[in-house]
Chain A
Amino acid sequence: MRSRTHTKPTEPLSYTDRSKLVVPPDGDTFEWLGADPYRAALKPWSFPSIGHTIRYPCDKSQRPLTLFSRLELASAQVHERRSEVVEVFDQVPLLPTSRVRWYARRLGMHAYPREGTFASTDLVLRVRQGPRIWWEAVAVKPEKQLRKGKVRLKLETERLFWHKLHVPWRLDTDTSYDEVELSNLQFLAPSRRFEHFMPLDRMVGDAILEAVDGALLGPPLSRLCDALAAVDRQFRVRPGTAMSGLRWALATGRYSIPVGCRISPTMPLESLIGDAG
């Protein structure tokens, strides 16, 4: 097995070791964020995480994001789906550290960030609307942790930092998202990314999609699953293929999801029938 030593940075990550960090050419501006290639400041193995460490292949970033909780994953998925978001950056360091430390001292925290480390923001979005392009910083915290004073101070430091740079900063908690929307996202996102369905067989795929169209637009069916199973049998494909096709169509925008409609295996697509098409 290949040795990992040359890819493993020194722990703890040294602030003086600039090669490990993405250092802005100009300490105060954040034009460097769009530099290519961008590298996340925190690598999975450089972070003493006690929980999940998730690598999520983000379409808009064209590279896997490194996320340190399920909540961050949910946040990244939600923001990735926003049409105005162009790119998502993860674990962006707040540099220079002296500035962060100055804000922290103003708030009464004297050892933050700790020597040899740096503060970071969970997600930074590049947003584009028409000709305007701007940045958005997103911090993700569970609602429960906001009761801790230390956590609130750190978030305030972060907010001050981005405020000084005229970057809008927002805080996402586990109550910021619609649960239905999140479950739909979880259900559909892999379909959109994988593109499983179409490359399977062009002709069969199109035929199945037509059949699914018919099932959706035809007379009301008591159970959509039965209709899709019939499609499977008709084309002699693996059970569930028509369902995958429907999901692919939903994920790629061929069909629109009614607002507030929950599509998941536990409460499947029957509620879609009335509105679809």
Chain B
Amino acid sequence: MTPAELVLRLQLNVVITLRDDHGTPWLGRVLHRLENAATVWLWPLDQPPQRLRCRVMTLKQIVDQFIALVPAAEDALQVPMPIRVLSPATARGLKKNRKIVAALEARMSEFFIESGLNRQLLVEIASDLHGAASSETGAVVPAGAVAYENAVPGVEKGTSPASIERTIARWFHGGRSDAALMPHYGSCGHPGAPRFAAEGRKLGRPSLVVAAGQLAASEDHRSTTPEDRAEIFDLVDHVLIKRKGNADDVVQAWHELHNVVRFVDTDGKARISPLPLSATLSERTVRHWVAERLKEQGMFKKRVGERTYALKFRPRVHRQYQFDGFAGLRCQTDAMSIDDVEVVSRLDDTSVLGTMHLYAGVDAVTTMTAGAFMSLRKPSELCVAQALLNVALPKQPLLDRYGLTQCRWDADGEYAMYDVDWGPDFSSWAATELVGRTKITWTNVGRGRPDQKPSVESIMATLQRWPKWFRRALARNDVKAPRPKLTQHELALAMLLSILERNEALVPTKFLDAAAIEDGLREPSRAAYHEWARARGGWPMPVRAPNNIRLSYLPRKAAYIADHGVNVGGFYFNLPSELSRLLIRHGRRQRPAICVVWNDELFADTWAYDLSNGSAIQLTPLHALQRFATLSWPELEALKVDIALARHWALPAWRDARAQIDAERERAGLSPLGGRRLSSSQPLLVEESLPTVVLKELKEGALEYEGERGGLDELCRETAVGGWNYAE
């Protein structure tokens, strides 16, 4: 359509403004209201607007009125007048065109309405809107846009001159209302419209919605007409509101009005008499419209929106503060592999040791992190046992070891109940044995329901994010690398710091126990809340004697060997003799020693590690007679961590037992037992057997890095062995 044609059509067409009682300019609603009261403005463009008030007016009548007013328009008005409705699916079209219309309104007051007859300016308006004819800054469409908007990326769709002209035409044609910019009613799938299957799709079930007053094929009753609805509304106003009846009364009145007779059929069921040729509305439909009327009258409470419902009304379940019990009773425990970090050797940045696994225990009520355990080892029941042990043990030695002497982590004590998931390490028979030994109540929450232990899931998510922050502090890491490289020690330090940080976060007052609020606690930190709970309720319980707690948490084999003090912290180097001695002493099935064969391409050596220091490492032998496990370098690293960890449980017990024996011998007049005296400072491995590089590491604590050193590196240099070690 050229601009000239546009002007021609606008000259001959009408401008109709249809507004309902509420001033809503939507044509769809106006059409419903037509029979009641509608204000119709007939406004030929070259005459002053005339207002028509009519009771019932169809579009045909409007057109007739207009022809009577402007006889010359008769030919042009043969063009069928579009009817448009608003539907949610087509609201996009309105949004897109509203910008154009807004600009057009501004121009209208200036060019069109005030100057009255200056219709020719529409052409200028269209070109102005497009921005091609003028370089005004207020142009809706950028000046560089061309007509074919789809060919040019970056140009808003529907802004070509043709589109603008079409929009303007539709806007005038539809009565200068927003509803005029909707897609055509006939293309919206209205009832009765022919249906077409989309490409590659079936047509589907026939719609239950039928045209007004028609019978649907599958229904016994006809659909609601506006007359029906008005009738029901009147009944509601009269019967229900004025006479204070109920919905049943309205239905009864409807039935009386339409001569519907209830009767008992021959099968004993109540039926409504079917009237020939005049199907009635179903009772359900009547009730529906009753409810609709009541909603209109505001007699029903309005349903709130989804957001408001979520904020104000939705019941909160499975939140941490709703856990039954009290602070210090339940500990939620979970395991996690820290996949975002590559754990590298201290000696060689390029050699990746594997993935660290973290176990954390969180108090269910105070959400204080009660303890954690990190290891390179894969998850196992032993890891679980060590995690529970770490939860119970005091944390201050750990902080001291990492140089965090100013920090506090007062979370020692034994919990009575643990909530865990269904990981194989938490749910196997060995875990049951652990339950029996430790005398705790062990709850496997529902399968696939991590929301039943949300506190620990929350901290796991936090801890998973934290180590990435640390890569900036280390010169060896490329900041943009997807997985930062950290040594065991650095990663452990990162975890420790993030746990401490989280323990200092504040607990909102509404999450507190009632007793805590009574005691005057207002938004305490998690640590303060935990401390309050411990002093108030005595939970978690104070740690038992170290010997007892070790015996109950460690697997039976490790505890037995440690108890008897067999070469605590020691080693076996003359392999055949020592190993055979062990096997003789403990029997074939005990398998107290593990022989580590370090296989490298260039170098192979054989060591025997002793399990008697408390670390029971579960390695499955390849066949029954094999008593040696072949370990790679990362496994060896992990092994050293385990053994160093376990030493701290076993050594005190060994010393105590030894001292006791010596005291008894002294009392009996005997000389003290001979043998090796062990101390914490004694190196773990036999010096002569180690390769020089390992020796150097053990002696100096850590190797010098090539790169720049920061404060974190200084911290990390402190100890020789990574991993966490509570009982230094």
Question: Which residues of A line the B interface, CB within 8 A?
Answer: 1-4, 7, 44-45, 49-57, 63-64, 73, 186-187, 189-191, 193-197, 199-200, 225, 229, 232, 237-244, 246-247, 264-268
Scoring B381, B531, B538, B620 by chain A CB atoms within 10 A of each residue's CB, the highest score goes to: B538
The answer to whether A54 touches B427, judged by C-beta atoms less than 8 angstroms apart, is no
The answer to whether A199 touches B544, judged by C-beta atoms less than 8 angstroms apart, is yes
Q: Which chain B residue lies CB-closest to A196?
A: B541
Which A residues lie within 8 Å of B442 (CB)? Answer: 54-56, 64
The answer to whether B439 touches A51, judged by C-beta atoms less than 8 angstroms apart, is no
**Chain B's nearest CB lies how many Å from the CB of A38?**
14
Which A residues lie within 8 Å of B535 (CB)? Answer: 225, 229, 232, 239-240, 243
Question: In the complex where A7-B428, A57-B435 touch, is A265 in contact with B545 (Cβ < 8 A)?
Answer: no
The answer to whether A55 touches B544, judged by C-beta atoms less than 8 angstroms apart, is no
The answer to whether A57 touches B436, judged by C-beta atoms less than 8 angstroms apart, is yes
The answer to whether A240 touches B446, judged by C-beta atoms less than 8 angstroms apart, is no
CA distance A244 to B535 in the complex (A): 10
**Chain B's nearest CB lies how many Å from the CB of A51?**
5
The answer to whether B542 touches A57, judged by C-beta atoms less than 8 angstroms apart, is no
The answer to the question of B444 belonging to the interface, with a C-beta cut-off of 8 Å to chain A, is yes
The answer to whether B427 touches A44, judged by C-beta atoms less than 8 angstroms apart, is yes
Which A residues lie within 8 Å of B436 (CB)? Answer: 57, 63-64
Q: Which chain B residue lies CB-closest to A267?
A: B515
Which A residues lie within 8 Å of B521 (CB)? Answer: none
CA distance A238 to B380 in the complex (A): 32
**Ranked 10 nearest A-B pairs via Cβ:** A243-B538, A190-B416, A239-B535, A244-B538, A265-B537, A196-B541, A240-B538, A55-B442, A265-B326, A53-B444
CA distance A2 to B383 in the complex (A): 12
Which A residues lie within 8 Å of B435 (CB)? Answer: 55, 57, 64
CA distance A238 to B533 in the complex (A): 13
The answer to the question of B77 belonging to the interface, with a C-beta cut-off of 8 Å to chain A, is no
The answer to the question of B128 belonging to the interface, with a C-beta cut-off of 8 Å to chain A, is no
Given contacts A55-B432, A56-B442, A64-B432, 17 further A-B contacts (CB under 8 A): A1-B380, A2-B428, A2-B430, A2-B618, A7-B428, A50-B447, A52-B445, A53-B444, A55-B444, A196-B414, A199-B545, A199-B548, A232-B535, A244-B538, A265-B327, A265-B539, A268-B537
Q: Which chain B residue lies CB-closest to A237?
A: B542
Identify whether the interface residues of A are mostly helix, strand, loop, or mixed. mixed
CA distance A259 to B441 in the complex (A): 26
The answer to whether B620 touches A2, judged by C-beta atoms less than 8 angstroms apart, is yes
The answer to whether A266 touches B541, judged by C-beta atoms less than 8 angstroms apart, is no
The answer to whether A1 touches B536, judged by C-beta atoms less than 8 angstroms apart, is no
Which A residues lie within 8 Å of B429 (CB)? Answer: 4, 7
B window 82-127: CB within 8 A of A: none
CA distance A232 to B542 in the complex (A): 12
**Chain B's nearest CB lies how many Å from the CB of A52?**
5
CA distance A150 to B627 in the complex (A): 56
Pull 22 A–B residue pairs with CB atoms less than 8 Å apart, ordered by A.
Answer: A49-B446, A54-B442, A55-B435, A56-B441, A57-B435, A57-B438, A63-B436, A64-B436, A186-B325, A189-B416, A191-B541, A196-B544, A199-B548, A200-B542, A200-B545, A225-B535, A238-B542, A240-B537, A242-B538, A266-B515, A267-B515, A268-B537
Which B residues lie within 8 Å of A199 (CB)? Answer: 544-545, 548
The answer to the question of B440 belonging to the interface, with a C-beta cut-off of 8 Å to chain A, is yes
Question: In the complex where A197-B542, A229-B535, A266-B326 touch, is A44 in contact with B444 (Cβ < 8 A)?
Answer: yes
**Chain B's nearest CB lies how many Å from the CB of A138?**
19
CA distance A57 to B537 in the complex (A): 23
**Chain A's nearest CB lies how many Å from the CB of B623?**
15
Question: In the complex where A50-B446, A50-B447, A54-B442 touch, is A244 in contact with B326 (Cβ < 8 A)?
Answer: no
- Bin the interface of chain B by size: 35 or more
**Chain B's nearest CB lies how many Å from the CB of A129?**
28
The answer to the question of B514 belonging to the interface, with a C-beta cut-off of 8 Å to chain A, is yes
CA distance A266 to B517 in the complex (A): 10
Interface 1/0s, chain B 516-551, versus A by CB < 8 A? 000000000000000101111111011111001000
Which A residues lie within 8 Å of B432 (CB)? Answer: 44, 55, 64
The answer to whether B447 touches A49, judged by C-beta atoms less than 8 angstroms apart, is yes
Interface 1/0s, chain B 435-466, versus A by CB < 8 A? 11011111111110000100000000000000
Q: Which chain B residue lies CB-closest to A3?
A: B620
Which B residues lie within 8 Å of A232 (CB)? Answer: 535
Which B residues lie within 8 Å of A52 (CB)? Answer: 443-446, 452
The answer to whether A265 touches B536, judged by C-beta atoms less than 8 angstroms apart, is yes
Q: Among the listed A49, A51, A57, A200, which residue makes an inter-chain contact with B440, where contact means beta carbons less than 8 Å apart?
A: A57
The answer to whether B534 touches A240, judged by C-beta atoms less than 8 angstroms apart, is yes
The answer to whether B542 touches A266, judged by C-beta atoms less than 8 angstroms apart, is no
Question: In the complex where A64-B432, A193-B439, A244-B538 touch, is A268 in contact with B446 (Cβ < 8 A)?
Answer: no
The answer to whether B427 touches A45, judged by C-beta atoms less than 8 angstroms apart, is yes
Interface 1/0s, chain B 229-244, versus A by CB < 8 A? 0000000000000000
Question: In the complex where A190-B416, A243-B537 touch, is A266 in contact with B380 (Cβ < 8 A)?
Answer: no
The answer to the question of B379 belonging to the interface, with a C-beta cut-off of 8 Å to chain A, is yes
Question: In the complex where A194-B541, A239-B535, A243-B538 touch, is A266 in contact with B445 (Cβ < 8 A)?
Answer: no
The answer to whether B441 touches A244, judged by C-beta atoms less than 8 angstroms apart, is no
The answer to the question of B221 belonging to the interface, with a C-beta cut-off of 8 Å to chain A, is no
CA distance A57 to B325 in the complex (A): 18
The answer to whether A196 touches B443, judged by C-beta atoms less than 8 angstroms apart, is no
The answer to the question of B635 belonging to the interface, with a C-beta cut-off of 8 Å to chain A, is no
CA distance A238 to B541 in the complex (A): 10
CA distance A2 to B428 in the complex (A): 10
The answer to whether A57 touches B439, judged by C-beta atoms less than 8 angstroms apart, is yes
**Chain B's nearest CB lies how many Å from the CB of A6?**
10
The answer to the question of B191 belonging to the interface, with a C-beta cut-off of 8 Å to chain A, is no
Q: Which chain A residue lies CB-closest to B430?
A: A2
The answer to the question of B340 belonging to the interface, with a C-beta cut-off of 8 Å to chain A, is no
The answer to whether A196 touches B514, judged by C-beta atoms less than 8 angstroms apart, is no
Which A residues lie within 8 Å of B403 (CB)? Answer: none
Which B residues lie within 8 Å of A267 (CB)? Answer: 515
Which B residues lie within 8 Å of A190 (CB)? Answer: 329, 416-417, 441, 541
CA distance A194 to B438 in the complex (A): 8
